[in-house]
Structure 1
Amino acid sequence: MKVKAVRLHGANDLRLDEFELPEIKEDEILVKVVSDSICMSTYKCAILGTKHKRVHEDVADHPAIMGHEMAGDIVKVGAKHQDKFKPGMKFTLQPALNYKGTMWSPGYSYEFFGGDATYCIIPAEVMELGCLLEYKGKAYYEASLAEPMSCSIGAFNAAYHTKMGVYTHEMGIKKGGKLAIMAGAGPMGLGALTYALHRDIRPSMIVVTDVNQERLDRAAHLFPIEDAKKDGIDLHFVNTGKLEDPVAYLREMTGGTGFDDVFCYAPVAAVVEQSSGVLGRDGCLNFFAGPTDNQFSAKMNFYDVHYNSTHVMGTTGGNTADMIESLELTAQGRINPAVMVTHIGGLDAAAETTLNLPKIPGGKKLIYTHISMPLIALEDLRSKEAQDSRYGKLADIVEANKGLWCPEAEEYLLHHFKEEA
């Protein structure tokens, strides 16, 4: 069958290709992709090409379909999997496969498997690893965003704490502790915030820092301090760019104890050093933001490592249990992944958006693969109303939902915007 997909041919070489998809084998599944959110990791893959750890050396001859935060419908199921999966089921998946010691993943490593496509083939290893998940919710975008949400969930679950003289780690963030999300007013930071506020084990204090006041203001609008207070959480938004000594200021906010858990969401040396500086005794620092520079480094206080048991770690991606937790919390209305989304677009906008991702302000860019639409910020929908009344209808829905994307907006989009042939 003829399909369209954004594929990687080499470093900085993304193309919207039309090509023939082969027939599925008995251990494969054919799916229709409906939504895919663009990850900063996809940008890193696109600019690095074969220098990226997940990209195969012969990508020029066998281009890789981009995108790994996908959701859609199962179309055809190979004989081996017909007992569990049926045509018509909605799906999402855990892309961190870790199959037989490889780093292969959809969106980086496969010629016929990725999210920036109209249709794709899910290979046998995904089912073998239990990474193909049936999605029973209504909105496809919530399933797409379950993957980035699972990354932050995994980071929270991977945090650990210690006790003097005891050689056992207590896993997870400290219950009732003090938590900082550094450079955290971007999409992934806001995903972490909605999770921190509504998970079962919560801190008593959360501080979100950034140097962009507009992003901080949006975060404060979406997460009112008064609401957090009702749940027993002392929430603060701090612009460290306006502070002469950010570390001293943040430590003073904690009463001088420092933070129990710190998540660093920017691969910037100054932010890493601030993150190290605000750690309290036995503080756990998760360097969440993956750099493109393989020589990236920053200072860390090793006096505190030795005498105050501070420690650093990093996580990339989540596991299947983290994905399931994300989907369950979303279905329960406890977390809202839409806080990450600021732009929508069609498949024809995916390549340019990916290659220019760091230059485009805002949060997550959500692609609908059967829609032809330029990338547009949710806040700009109203400005397009004069030329196309459908944008005005979308603006009505979004504005009635605190400026956030929502199931009603997705449903309108899928029903009223032209589908690619």
Structure 2
Amino acid sequence: MITKAVRMYGENDLRLEEFALPAIKEDEILVKVISDSICMSTYKESRQGANHKRVPEGIDKHPIIVGHETAGNIVEVGRKWQHKYHVGDKFSLQPALVYQGISHTVGYSYENCGGACTYAVVPAEVMHTDSLLRYEGKAYYEASLSEPMSCIIGAFHASYHNTAGKYEHAMGIKKNGVMAILAGAGPMGMGTIDYALHGDICPGVLVITDIDSGRLKRAERIFPVEEAGKKGIALHFVNMSDFDKPAEHLRSLTNGHGFDDVFVLAPVSEVIEQADQILSYDGCINFFSGPIDANLSAKINFYNIHYNSIHMLGTSGGYTSDMVESLTLSAQKRINPAVMITHICGIDGIIDTTLKLPHIPGGKKLSYPQIEMELTAIEDFAQKGTNNRHFAKLAEICGKNNDLWCEEAEAYLLNNWPAKSNK
């Protein structure tokens, strides 16, 4: 099988290449990749190359396929797994694996398996760890985005509060509590808002902050304050650049109580310190943003840690159970991962998008490796549609769906877009 893949050879060295995959072994599975969303962690990986802790040495001779937010179809099943997996099954994939005491990560570790490719050979340890998940839904992007959503869900599950009178932690955010999502109108922030509003445990007050007015307006349009109010959630969107003393303003929204749960979604010292300043008694900070700077630090009030029993944690990634929860909630239409997506591209757009990711405005960038299409913002579909009937149709479809990517748009793209060109 010939695959076309984005492979990493070193720092900032990504190459789109065609090569022959080996025939699968009896304990491997061949898959066709349909969608792969591009993660900020792949940008960090590409910046660091073999210096990244998850990337093996020797990638200059044995390059790895990047991409790990993956969904597609099973094409061929090795004899050992034919009782469990079948040709034609749709799949999602948990990329972080620990098998026989050894850690591997799809998109970081493998020469023949990743998300930024047309076909991949799934290694045995993925199946041994039950990390190849059967997907029963229709839209592939929901399966791809179950990976970043699992990171969000895992972060909610990892947060905790103390139990009065005994040394036991009550896991999860505080039910009907006061919650803030700082720097929360970006792609992961949108998913975090969605889960906070529609998960099993919801806050009573939810405050979203950012310094980008455009991102905040988009978030408020997608998550109307009135709709949250119908669920008994007081939802606030706050542009922190409007206030000389932002922490004081945030506390004023809580009637002096402070925040029970604060998620920090930007690796910025000032934002971390702001989180510390707004906590309530027994408040919990979740640092949910992977920094590149190994020396990132911030000033934290240890008086409050001691006397106000505040606590901090950081989470990275989600477990398979979190992915299953994401897929279930998506199938139930309780959450909509499409709120994170602002751009679409084909396989030829992956390298440039990955290397420039922090500097491209908007939310999540979703790729479809089976087609060629330059990275395009959903909001630009209509303008490009003046010269391209396919963009015009996508603009029409998304326009009917609150300008969000959707199952109908994906189906149109996969069934009608020219496979080799976006002309």
Name the TM tier (shorter chain).
over 0.9
Q: Which residue of 2 aligns with 1:61?
A: 61
Q: Which amino acid aligns with 2:64?
A: A
- Secondary structure of the residue that 1:352 maps to in structure 2? helix
Residue in structure 2 matched with residue 124 of structure 1 by the alignment? 124
User: How far did 1:344 drift?
Assistant: 0.1
d(CA) in 2 for partners of 1:281, 1:98: 37
- Which residue of structure 2 lines up, in the alignment, with residue 72 of structure 1? 72
1:15 maps to a residue whose letter is R
Distance 2:176 2:96 in 1: 31
Is the 1:53–1:103 contact (alpha carbons within 8 Å) kept by the matching residues of 2?
no
What is the rounded CA distance, in whole Å, between the counterparts of 1:293 and 1:334 in structure 2? 36
CA separation in 1, counterparts of 2:42 and 2:292?
11
Displacement after TM superposition at 1:298 (Å) = 1.0
| Paired position in structure 2 for 1:409 | 409
Instruction: Check whether the contact 2:33–2:117 (CA below 8 A) recurs between aligned residues.
Output: yes
Corresponding residue for 2:396?
396
Whole-angstrom distance in 2 between the partners of 1:348 and 1:101: 36
Distance in 2 (alpha carbons) for counterparts of 1:391 and 1:175: 43
Question: What is the alpha-carbon distance in structure 2 between the residues aligned to residue 397 and residue 386 of structure 1?
Answer: 15
Q: Classify the secondary structure of the residue corresponding to 2:200.
A: coil
Runs of 4+ in 1 over 6 A off after TM superposition: none
**How far off is 1:212 after superposition?**
0.3
Counterpart of 1:9 in structure 2 is 9
The aligned counterpart of 1:340 is 340
Q: For residues 188 and 98 of structure 1, what CA distance do their matches in structure 2 show?
A: 25
Q: Which residue of 1 aligns with 2:303?
A: 303
Instruction: Give 1:418 shift.
Output: 1.4
Match of 2:251 in 1: 251
- State the AA in 2 paired with 1:143: A
8 Å CA contact 1:74, 1:91 repeated in 2: yes
> Secondary structure of the residue that 1:282 maps to in structure 2?
strand
Q: What is the rounded CA distance, in whole Å, between the counterparts of 1:411 and 1:135 in structure 2?
A: 16
Find the residue that maps to 1:30 and give its secondary structure. Answer: strand
- TM-score, with length taken from structure 2: 0.98
SS at match of 1:98: strand
Give the match for residue 217 of structure 2. Answer: 217
2:46 is aligned to 46
Superposition RMSD in Å: 1.0
Partners in 2 of 1:162 and 1:103 — Cα distance? 32
Q: In 1, distance between residues paired with 2:265 and 2:97? A: 23
- Most deviating of 54-63 and 162-171: 162-171
> What letter matches 2:35 in structure 1?
S
- 1:258-337 aligned within 5 A: 258-337=258-337
1:260 touches 1:284 (CA, 8 Å); kept in 2? yes
My pick for the range that moved more, 6-15 or 411-420, is 411-420
Aligned twin of 2:153: 153
Alpha-carbon displacement from aligned partner over 1:170-205 (angstroms, at most 9, x marks no partner)? 111111101100000001011011011011111101
Matched-pair contact (CA < 8 Å) for 1:185–1:219:
yes
Distance 1:72 1:297, change over 3 A: same
User: Equivalents in 2 of 1:198, 1:303: separation in Å?
Assistant: 35
Correspondence for 2:144:
144
* SS at 2:366 equivalent: strand
The farther-off stretch of 101-110 and 25-34 is: 101-110
Q: Please tell me the residue identity of whatever aligns with 1:53.
A: K
Distance 1:273 1:102, change over 3 A: farther
- Asked if 2 retains the 8 angstrom alpha-carbon contact of 1:35 and 1:369, the reply is yes
Question: How far apart are 1:386 and its partner, in Å?
Answer: 2.1
**What does the per-residue CA deviation read over 1:332-383, in whole Å, with 9 as the maximum and x for residues that have no partner?**
0100000000000000000110000001000000000001100000000011
Conserved in 2, the CA contact under 8 Å of 1:216 and 1:239?
Answer: yes
TM-score, normalising length: structure 1: 0.99
Structure 2 Cα separation of the partners of residues 32 and 133 of structure 1: 14
What is the deviation of 1:103?
A: 3.8
Structure 1 letter corresponding to 2:155: A
Letter in 2 for 1:120: A
Distance 1:99 1:372 in 2: 36
CA contact (8 A) 1:158 1:171 kept: yes
CA distance in 2, matches of 1:321, 1:284: 23
Deviations 1:95-143 (CA, angstroms, capped at 9, x unpaired):
1213344442011111111000000011111111111100010010010
Determine if contact 2:99/2:128 at 8 Å carries over to the other structure. no
Per-residue CA deviation, residues 63-114 of structure 1 (Å, 9 max, x unaligned), is: 1101000000000001110000000000001112133444420111111110
The alpha carbon displacement at 1:402 in A equals 0.4
Structure 2 residue matching 1:381: 3-state secondary structure: helix
Q: Distance in 2 between matches of 1:248 and 1:133?
A: 46
Bigger Cα displacement from structure 2, 36-45 vs 101-110: 101-110
Aligned equivalent of 1:368: 368
* Amino acid paired to 1:369: P
| Range with greater deviation from structure 2 (255-264 or 218-227) | 255-264
CA contact (8 A) 2:209 2:239 kept: yes
CA distance in 2: counterparts of 1:31 and 1:76, whole angstroms: 7
- Alpha-carbon distance in 1 for matches of 2:241, 2:266: 14
Give how far 1:164 is off. 4.6
